[in-house]
Amino acid sequence: MSVLLECKNLSHRYGKKVALDDVSFQIESGKIIGLFGPNGSGKTTLIKQIVGLLQDEKQAIKIDGEPVGETTKAKVSYSPDRLAFKGDRKVSDLLDFYELMYDDFDRGHAEEALAGLGIDTGEYIGKMSKGTGEKTQIILVMSRKAKLYVLDEPFAGIDPVARETVIRIMLQNMPEDASLLLSTHHIQETEQILDKAIFIKEGKIVFQKSVEEMREESGRSLSEAYMEVFR
Amino acid sequence: MPWNLDSDRPIFLQIVERLESDIVSGKYAPGEKLPAVRELAVEAAVNPNTMQKACAELERIGLVYSQRTSGRFVTEDKKRIDQTRKDLAKKTAKAFLQKMEELGISRDEALKLL
């Protein structure tokens, strides 16, 4: 199993406030990793470093052996924690945008997935329910043939049925050797799809384990482990 | 619907049990092709690597066999399937008796309840 992402001793400050403190972990190819922690623990800062939205001056993160930059951005497909598009755009505009921006975007695949969920490409983003907006965004993100998918809270404010659909979109569309980093508060809904979980607390990693090994060794669910660490 | 699995027991074992029982019950008939690993993982809403491991385990214990390019098939060996049926039945009976014991009911008393 080869290492896709390596993060070594990453720290980040906003002024005097330490957002990430000596964070190290690896993501192997073909794995699904869950990133958990309370609000303000550093999850989004870490994700912004990985996708290149914050400067990684010390080159602490390497993706496919290269420091974060244009080359790695082309291999990483990212879904931010809010809808990335304005309401006056239609789904078809987003398809055009993705096609223009990303060489690895498979438009036919995205159209098929949208049709499968009954999402009309003529629909305006602003007129959709939150759940439909999120499904659309995840379909676009997952329709790139990336090596790493990074999803920042794809379940916020959407109902349980929509959450289940989003999980299926992820599983269905992930290429076999690609990896997925999922940051979310919805631990119970996602723990069965994870290979590994990482807990982050006040900028530090306080737990990283294979979820299946944890179940075997301690007979605990990930939700229980989370409550123990953060309660 | 996602499969109803306990988050505090290894998912791998639960998937194996579920697929065993699907084969015993005839949901997947002898000789029938199993859905692809990905498809099963999406149906169950579980990690695809874990589903892959579970399917490999079914193959290892002889309940399914794979044909190089065309996927995995349920064994046509009815004796093998019957063996699994008996194993699953024994497991279920054992769990029942254990539960009765926890309730303070002896084996004989438990049998009378049936």
Q: Which residues of B touch A193 (CB under 8 A)?
A: 45-47
Domain boundary assignment for chain A: 3-230
Mean pLDDT estimate for chain A: 94
Q: CB–CB of A219 and B9 under 8 A?
A: yes
Cross-chain CB nearest to B7 (options A176, A195, A222) = A222
Q: Is A135 on the interface with B (CB under 8 A)?
A: no
Superfamily of domain A3-230: P-loop containing nucleotide triphosphate hydrolases (3.40.50.300)
Tell if the CB–CB gap between B47 and A193 is shorter than 8 Å. Answer: yes
- B5 touching chain A per CB within 8 A: yes
Is A29's Cβ below 8 Å from some Cβ in B? no
Number of other CB atoms surrounding residue B71 within 10 Å: 14
Which helix (H) or strand (E) covers residue A198, if one does?
strand A196-201
- Residues A29, A32, A36: CA angle, nearest 5 degrees: 130
DSSP for B4-25 reads: ---TTS-HHHHHHHHHHHHHHT
Task: With CB atoms and an 8 Å threshold, state whether A164 touches B2.
Answer: yes
pLDDT above 80 (res A177): yes
- The CA angle B2-B40-B58, to the nearest 5 degrees, is 115
**Does residue A1 carry a pLDDT above 80?**
no
Sign of torsion over alpha carbons B73, B78, B84, B88: positive
Contacts of A128 (CB under 8 A, 6+ apart): A136
Among chain B residues, CA nearest to A195:
B47
Q: pLDDT band at A224, cuts 50/70/90?
A: very high
Compute how many other C-beta atoms are within 10 angstroms of the C-beta atom of residue B21. Answer: 14
- Does residue A177 sit in helix, strand or coil? coil
| Confidence band, pLDDT 50/70/90 cuts, at residue A157 | confident
Q: Which chain A residues are closer than 8 Å to B40 by Cβ?
A: none
Note the ipTM here. Answer: 0.90
Nearest to A59 by CA among A103, A25, A11, A105: A11
pLDDT of residue A210: 96
Q: Give the pLDDT confidence of A51-90 residue by residue, as tens digits.
A: 999 988 899 999 999 999 999 999 999 999 887 788 899 9
* pLDDT (tens digit per residue) in B18-35: 999 999 999 999 999 999
Tell the CATH topology of B11-113: Arc Repressor Mutant, subunit A (1.10.10)
| Domain boundaries defined on chain B | 11-113
Closest partner CB to B11 (pick from A188, A212, A219): A212
pLDDT above 80: residue A168: yes
